[in-house]
Structures are given as structure tokens and as C-alpha cells.
Amino acid sequence: MPIYAMQCPCGHEEDVYRSIAKMNDDLPQHCGVTMTRRVCAPMVANDIAPYRSMCDGTMITSRSQHRAHLRAHGVIEVGNEKLPERKSTLGKAGDLKRDIAEVINSKY
């Protein structure tokens, strides 16, 4: 559901969260006047800054070229890799307590 920005003639602003089908239902009021919808710029993600590939030295100038380059060279970005699930090296809680007690008692 989109968020609609509303504005009163006095300058008061308010955001309204509702479905597109109900975008004109029960518009908020302020100063005794029904608020009007304000046109806002959408959020757009910038493209990546051009960089030189560490694999072969080619210039990468877009996200799509970046993704294709990674696939072609079989490399993965740090932070996007899938790490294997860590297996616990600890036993049950009772075993751990016993193991700690044995280590302490063997030292003293």
C-alpha cells in the first residue's frame, strides 16, 4: 500500500497509508478544511559509480554490467555470500557444566 502525502492550505503536512482503491476515502481534515494530496518525488536508487574490475581490468559502469561480470567470472561480492550453517561444537548444557567443573578441579 502506498503512502500519500497530504497538505493543508496553512502548510500542515500529514502522511496517509492506504490502498489505491481507497486513496480518496476519508481524506484527513485540518483547520476545518479537507487536506489535498501533495505530489512527491518517488524514491529512486542511483546506479553504481563506475569502477575497474579486479578480475580483468575492464570498466564496469552499471549494476546490470556488474551482475553479469560477477556471474561470468564466478565471483561473489563480500557480504552477499551464503555462509554454511555453523555446527555447534558444544554438547548439552549438562555436559558443558560437567566439563567446566572437571577442568577447574584438575587445575587445583
pLDDT in tens, 77-87: 888 778 788 77
**How many CA atoms does the CB half-sphere of 80 hold within 13 Å?**
5
Burial class (CB in 10 A: 0-12, 13-18, 19+), 56: exposed
Length reported for the chain: 108
pLDDT at 92: 62
Burial class (CB in 10 A: 0-12, 13-18, 19+), 66: middle
Question: Are the C-beta atoms of 87 and 93 separated by less than 8 Å?
Answer: no
Chain-wide mean pLDDT for the chain?
A: 84
Banded pLDDT at 88 (limits 50, 70, 90) = low
pLDDT tens, position by position, 46-77: 888 999 999 999 999 999 999 999 999 998 88
